[in-house]
Amino acid sequence: MEILLIFLFALLGLTVGSFLNVCIDRLPRDESVVSPPSHCEACQHRLGLKDLIPVFSYLRLRGRCRYCQAAVSRKLLWVEIAAGLIFALLYWHFGLGPELGIMAFYACVFIVVFVIDLERGLILNKVVYPAMIVALLLALVPQPWLTRWIVINGVANAALGGGVGFAIFVVIAIVSRGGMGWGDVKLVALIGLAVGFPLVLFSIIVGAILGSIVALALMIARKRRFRETLPFGPFLALAAMITL
């Protein structure tokens, strides 16, 4: 029974991942995520149900549109797989309960932030601000899996985490003179609201380590020069998911 539920949550994650792809593609263009229905970006043909089966449709059509044969971004496949794996892992770790829903919500937010910032170098207010409000509301829900790590409970801890993260990154943004974007400041405030204090510090450290490793690897591979900037948001989002 447990294996069946893990499998079902993986399928749910794949389906949610398909919707996250819609958000990732449309939100930066100020388009509705509800209307018009899903369609091919190249030929604008509306996609049928057989074209929208997560993962399977992409593999069956070999990454191409059924109607015009235009190539479809591999990002769609990887986002669906990532969401499926994360949902399965969340159920395996937390089981059924409010914490599962809370973690699934944050996972969806951080996946969207991760991919949009990686692709476009943008951290959208329309994603971060509503998530901040939800994070404050979720702080009212008992979160026993974080209790041993935090100094105070509830909304006060969320506010402390958000405030500390925000203050640290405001200073960095000012000192770096553009090296750190204000989108990162808002994102780390959201992470602080989600994980509280002192876990927000752990997220920042993990994000910095991940970013440094990737930047060094890119420089060694000569894919990026020393003075070129690297979006920090994706690493913060990944660090937040690791922390949660």
Domain membership of residue 86 (yes or no) is yes
Asked whether the predicted pLDDT for residue 163 surpasses 90, the reply is: no
Same domain, 243 and 129: yes
Instruction: Read off the pTM.
Output: 0.85
Domain membership of residue 128 (yes or no) is yes
Asked whether the predicted pLDDT for residue 35 surpasses 70, the reply is: yes
Same domain, 128 and 68: no
Same domain, 92 and 133: no
Same domain, 183 and 239: yes
Q: Which of 96, 112, 142 is the last residue of a domain?
A: 96
Same domain, 138 and 178: yes
Q: pLDDT tens-digit profile of 43-77?
A: 777 777 777 788 888 888 788 878 788 888 888 89
Asked whether the predicted pLDDT for residue 226 surpasses 50, the reply is: no
CB 188 within 8 A of CB 166: yes
Q: pLDDT tens-digit profile of 74-131?
A: 888 999 999 999 999 999 988 888 888 888 999 999 999 989 988 888 889 999 999 9
In the prediction, which pLDDT does 234 show? 82
Domain membership of residue 116 (yes or no) is no
CB 207 within 8 A of CB 169: no
In the prediction, which pLDDT does 155 show? 73
Identify residue 59 by its one-letter amino acid code: L
Count: domains in the chain: 2
Same domain, 14 and 67: yes
Same domain, 235 and 183: yes
Q: How confident is the model at residue 13 (pLDDT cuts 50, 70, 90)?
A: very high
CB 135 within 8 A of CB 193: yes
Same domain, 187 and 80: no
In the prediction, which pLDDT does 73 show? 83
Domain membership of residue 107 (yes or no) is no
For the chain, give the longest Cα–Cα distance.
57
Domain membership of residue 102 (yes or no) is no
Domain membership of residue 208 (yes or no) is yes
- Token pair of 144 as six digits: 């026993």
End-to-end C-alpha distance for the chain, whole angstroms: 26
CA dihedral 236, 239, 243, 244 (to 10 degrees): 70
Same domain, 136 and 243: yes
Q: Which of 77, 96, 115 is the last residue of a domain?
A: 96
Domain hosting 48: range is 1-96
Domain membership of residue 214 (yes or no) is yes
Same domain, 73 and 185: no
Domain membership of residue 104 (yes or no) is no
